[in-house]
Amino acid sequence: MSTYDLYREWIVKNVPNSCAGQCTKYVNLMVKAFPELKKIRGHIRYWNDLEKKNKRSPHWWTKAPDGCIFDPTAVQFAHLEFHYEEWEEGQKEPTGKCPNCGEYSYDHNYLCSAKCEKEFREYIHS
Protein backbone atom coordinates (compact mmCIF):
# COMPACT_ATOMS: atom_id res chain seq x y z
CA MET A 1 0.00 0.00 0.00
CA SER A 2 1.43 3.41 -0.97
CA THR A 3 1.75 6.32 1.44
CA TYR A 4 -0.93 8.13 -0.53
CA ASP A 5 -3.27 5.17 -0.05
CA LEU A 6 -2.60 5.37 3.70
CA TYR A 7 -3.57 9.07 3.70
CA ARG A 8 -6.78 8.36 1.78
CA GLU A 9 -7.64 5.43 4.03
CA TRP A 10 -7.08 7.57 7.13
CA ILE A 11 -9.42 10.25 5.76
CA VAL A 12 -12.17 7.70 4.98
CA LYS A 13 -11.88 6.13 8.45
CA ASN A 14 -11.54 9.31 10.51
CA VAL A 15 -13.41 12.17 8.83
CA PRO A 16 -17.22 12.23 8.65
CA ASN A 17 -19.00 13.50 5.54
CA SER A 18 -20.51 16.22 7.73
CA CYS A 19 -17.15 17.92 8.34
CA ALA A 20 -17.96 21.44 7.11
CA GLY A 21 -16.24 24.10 9.17
CA GLN A 22 -13.93 21.57 10.85
CA CYS A 23 -10.87 21.73 8.59
CA THR A 24 -8.51 22.87 11.38
CA LYS A 25 -9.54 19.98 13.62
CA TYR A 26 -9.04 17.28 10.98
CA VAL A 27 -5.88 18.79 9.53
CA ASN A 28 -4.36 18.82 13.03
CA LEU A 29 -5.36 15.17 13.56
CA MET A 30 -4.00 14.14 10.17
CA VAL A 31 -0.66 15.90 10.72
CA LYS A 32 -0.42 14.21 14.12
CA ALA A 33 -0.98 10.81 12.45
CA PHE A 34 1.41 11.64 9.55
CA PRO A 35 4.10 14.10 10.74
CA GLU A 36 5.63 14.30 7.26
CA LEU A 37 2.56 16.24 6.08
CA LYS A 38 2.70 20.01 6.23
CA LYS A 39 -0.27 21.99 7.54
CA ILE A 40 -1.28 24.63 4.95
CA ARG A 41 -3.40 27.72 5.53
CA GLY A 42 -5.19 29.57 2.77
CA HIS A 43 -8.46 29.78 0.89
CA ILE A 44 -10.44 27.81 -1.59
CA ARG A 45 -11.74 29.80 -4.55
CA TYR A 46 -14.97 28.60 -6.13
CA TRP A 47 -17.72 29.76 -8.43
CA ASN A 48 -21.00 30.66 -6.74
CA ASP A 49 -23.83 29.99 -9.20
CA LEU A 50 -26.42 31.87 -7.16
CA GLU A 51 -24.38 35.07 -7.06
CA LYS A 52 -22.70 34.47 -10.45
CA LYS A 53 -19.24 35.28 -9.13
CA ASN A 54 -16.07 33.83 -7.69
CA LYS A 55 -15.98 33.44 -3.92
CA ARG A 56 -13.20 32.70 -1.45
CA SER A 57 -13.48 30.75 1.76
CA PRO A 58 -10.79 30.37 4.45
CA HIS A 59 -9.50 26.80 4.67
CA TRP A 60 -6.75 24.48 5.96
CA TRP A 61 -5.36 21.38 4.19
CA THR A 62 -2.21 19.27 4.18
CA LYS A 63 0.60 18.95 1.68
CA ALA A 64 2.86 15.91 1.22
CA PRO A 65 6.64 16.37 0.89
CA ASP A 66 6.33 16.16 -2.92
CA GLY A 67 3.68 18.95 -2.96
CA CYS A 68 0.56 16.79 -3.40
CA ILE A 69 -2.47 18.11 -1.52
CA PHE A 70 -4.39 15.88 0.87
CA ASP A 71 -7.43 17.67 2.21
CA PRO A 72 -9.22 15.67 4.91
CA THR A 73 -12.37 17.80 4.64
CA ALA A 74 -12.52 18.19 0.84
CA VAL A 75 -15.81 16.26 0.84
CA GLN A 76 -17.55 19.46 1.97
CA PHE A 77 -16.65 20.99 -1.40
CA ALA A 78 -17.57 17.95 -3.52
CA HIS A 79 -20.44 19.85 -5.17
CA LEU A 80 -18.15 22.74 -6.18
CA GLU A 81 -15.45 23.28 -8.72
CA PHE A 82 -12.66 24.91 -6.70
CA HIS A 83 -8.94 25.40 -6.33
CA TYR A 84 -6.60 26.02 -3.40
CA GLU A 85 -4.91 29.36 -2.78
CA GLU A 86 -2.08 29.05 -0.29
CA TRP A 87 -1.52 31.98 2.07
CA GLU A 88 1.99 33.36 1.92
CA GLU A 89 3.80 34.96 4.86
CA GLY A 90 3.56 38.74 4.66
CA GLN A 91 0.42 38.66 2.50
CA LYS A 92 -2.27 41.12 3.53
CA GLU A 93 -4.75 39.73 6.04
CA PRO A 94 -8.47 40.47 5.72
CA THR A 95 -9.79 42.63 8.53
CA GLY A 96 -13.49 42.26 7.81
CA LYS A 97 -16.15 41.56 5.21
CA CYS A 98 -17.73 44.11 2.93
CA PRO A 99 -21.41 44.66 3.87
CA ASN A 100 -22.19 45.41 0.23
CA CYS A 101 -20.86 42.29 -1.52
CA GLY A 102 -19.58 39.97 1.22
CA GLU A 103 -15.97 39.88 -0.05
CA TYR A 104 -13.08 40.45 2.32
CA SER A 105 -12.01 43.99 3.16
CA TYR A 106 -8.49 44.96 4.18
CA ASP A 107 -6.64 47.55 6.23
CA HIS A 108 -9.70 48.09 8.46
CA ASN A 109 -11.69 49.51 5.55
CA TYR A 110 -15.42 49.01 5.99
CA LEU A 111 -16.03 48.32 2.29
CA CYS A 112 -13.80 46.33 -0.07
CA SER A 113 -13.56 48.74 -3.03
CA ALA A 114 -14.51 52.14 -4.40
CA LYS A 115 -17.19 50.42 -6.52
CA CYS A 116 -18.81 48.87 -3.43
CA GLU A 117 -18.57 52.16 -1.57
CA LYS A 118 -20.43 53.92 -4.40
CA GLU A 119 -23.12 51.19 -4.55
CA PHE A 120 -23.49 51.17 -0.76
CA ARG A 121 -23.86 54.98 -0.58
CA GLU A 122 -26.46 54.92 -3.34
CA TYR A 123 -28.40 52.23 -1.47
CA ILE A 124 -28.25 54.11 1.85
CA HIS A 125 -29.39 57.38 0.27
CA SER A 126 -32.16 55.92 -1.88
Residue 50: its pLDDT value, please?
A: 64
Q: Rg of the Cα trace of the chain?
A: 18
Residue 52: its pLDDT value, please?
A: 67
| Cα separation, 110 vs 34, whole angstroms | 41
Give tens-digit pLDDT for 25-51.
999 999 999 999 999 999 898 877 666
DSSP for 66-124, please give it.
TS-EE-TTGGGGTTS-EEEEE--TTPPPEEEE-TTT--EEETT-SSSSHHHHHHHHHHH
Domain borders along the chain are 3-90, 92-126
The region of weakest confidence among 16-30, 57-71, 74-88 is 74-88
pLDDT band at 102 (very low <50, low <70, confident <90, very high): confident
Q: What is the mean pLDDT of the chain?
A: 87
pLDDT exceeds cutoff 80 at 121: yes
Residue 51: its pLDDT value, please?
A: 63
